[in-house]
Chains A and B, each alone.
Chain A
């Protein structure tokens, strides 16, 4: 039987933007701690975080048609605390408030207290994990119903958040971009960890059920194989890792600070962002429900 995914592009955007926003704020907090001189870049993170999360939430409201037609029903979102989505609403609301507070402090030229940075970073990480848990609790889909997915989404979220801040930074403040070496090294690590997590997720899902195997097949050799290998693995993980390896470990400092190197970094960051979105989209589209009597196919 052919299966039509319940969620697709809009929800993928929301999961991607939620993680990106959380990761961007965490990146700003990291900059405040480790690179306090990179003021402009930190402020860029404070801009990106609330904007992308709010865009994601608006997309979500448009997708929830029955709520869009009766907006008062959105108030009911706080009624079932047994639901991961309800927790998500609370976490997202808290995160948006903290992120907007940091932005207002920046705009009014006041100092953002370290405590606020830490609270925002923790909430940002919670948002990222929530996007994985939202899918993870659905026993229906073996590709989602495992403990690796929230971790994978978290790693991808921090990776895309850092990529967004670095990408904005390389154009807005290249001088600061040259001096955030520790951030760049962390940013380099995440796609590597992500590769391990994706491999583990696919191996385990492929062996836990027929639906799990069919989902993995759809990704690695079926309907979504081209997107998976080209846009996710190559563009999103391998090429950025290769470029960053070259830049961080095998390039003279003069080249690293040249405009050409900046453009290469920008390209690598765009790759990470593309990969982050494609990961969410593929996880939504390739998930097949457990079999009752006849296996589902894509």
Chain B
């Protein structure tokens, strides 16, 4: 069993939203729906000021609040630790959206069901299938996908080298790591 995770290097992120657009295309989303949201803020003090772009998406938490509150079992932790939403089970109560501290879940206005990042990079990672994912779309290489349990993979080496950490500490045992 793999334990898939991601690294997002916000120091490389230029805020172009290519990842979001690629994700919308990949997952057939409407322009108003997205699985990646951005937080942007000024850091530093004049004259040493910059804008930090932080792309947020499903953190595929090991301690996933969405899965623990979902009354129908639609939100659940699937194989390889990927947090999934079974669209055929979701009643659209939005409890998971309230429980997610990262606020990265999206309600599909047409179906009323909730959806979010599916870690579609897995197919790319395991079978080499070329796809338009957030990782390949990023022009600055800010994103790395991989297996957190594989010490030889680029993701693990980069997390160790950059001292990357989840965005909110150990809040939910997130598997998306950030360099900030």
5 sample A-B contacts, Cβ–Cβ < 8 Å, listed by A number: A70-B88, A76-B72, A82-B68, A140-B99, A293-B52
A108 contacts the other chain (CB 8 A): no
What 0/1 pattern do residues 276 to 293 of A give for CB contact below 8 A with B?
A: 000000000000011011
What 0/1 pattern do residues 66 to 106 of A give for CB contact below 8 A with B?
A: 11111001101101101111100100000000000000000
Are A67 and B92 in contact (CB-based, < 8 A)? Answer: yes
Whole-angstrom CA separation of A63 from B98 in the bound complex? 15
Query: Given the complex, which residues of A lie within 8 Å of B102, measured CB to CB?
Result: 292
Quote the shortest CB–CB distance from B17 to chain A (angstroms): 15
| Inter-chain residue pair count (beta carbon < 8 A) | 109
Whole-angstrom CA separation of A265 from B91 in the bound complex? 42
Are B72 and A73 in contact (CB-based, < 8 A)? Answer: yes
Query: Given the complex, which residues of A lie within 8 Å of B39, measured CB to CB?
Result: 1, 292-294
Interface of B is mostly: loop
A141 contacts the other chain (CB 8 A): yes
Chain B contact residue count (CB 8 A cutoff): 36
Are B111 and A77 in contact (CB-based, < 8 A)? Answer: no
Are B41 and A65 in contact (CB-based, < 8 A)? Answer: no
Are A138 and B99 in contact (CB-based, < 8 A)? Answer: yes
Are A85 and B112 in contact (CB-based, < 8 A)? Answer: no
Are B111 and A66 in contact (CB-based, < 8 A)? Answer: yes
What 0/1 pattern do residues 136 to 147 of B give for CB contact below 8 A with A?
A: 000000000000
Supposing A73-B90, A80-B70, A294-B39 touch, asked if A64 and B112 sit within 8 A by C-beta, the answer is: yes
Whole-angstrom CA separation of A82 from B69 in the bound complex? 7
A139 contacts the other chain (CB 8 A): yes
Whole-angstrom CA separation of A67 from B71 in the bound complex? 12
Chain A contact residue count (CB 8 A cutoff): 36
Supposing A138-B99, A292-B39, A294-B39 touch, asked if A73 and B167 sit within 8 A by C-beta, the answer is: no
Interface residues of B (CB under 8 A from A): 39-41, 52, 54, 56, 65, 68-74, 88-95, 97-103, 111-114, 167-168, 171
Most chain B beta carbons < 10 A, residue from A67, A139, A292: A292
A137 contacts the other chain (CB 8 A): yes
Are A86 and B91 in contact (CB-based, < 8 A)? Answer: no
Contact of A141 among B54, B90, B98, B171 (CB under 8 A): B98
Closest-by-CB residue of A relative to B171 is A139
A6 contacts the other chain (CB 8 A): yes
Contact of B71 among A7, A68, A85, A139 (CB under 8 A): A85
Quote the shortest CB–CB distance from A20 to chain B (angstroms): 21
Contact of A85 among B92, B93, B168 (CB under 8 A): B93
Query: Given the complex, which residues of A lie within 8 Å of B112, measured CB to CB?
Result: 64-69
Supposing A79-B73, A83-B71 touch, asked if A6 and B97 sit within 8 A by C-beta, the answer is: yes
Contact of B69 among A64, A79, A138 (CB under 8 A): A138
Contact of B93 among A64, A135, A292 (CB under 8 A): A64
Whole-angstrom CA separation of A65 from B110 in the bound complex? 9
Whole-angstrom CA separation of A289 from B54 in the bound complex? 17
In the complex, given contacts A64-B112, A80-B73, A139-B99, what are 7 additional A-B residue pairs having Cβ atoms less than 8 angstroms apart?
A: A6-B94, A69-B112, A73-B91, A74-B91, A83-B68, A140-B103, A294-B39
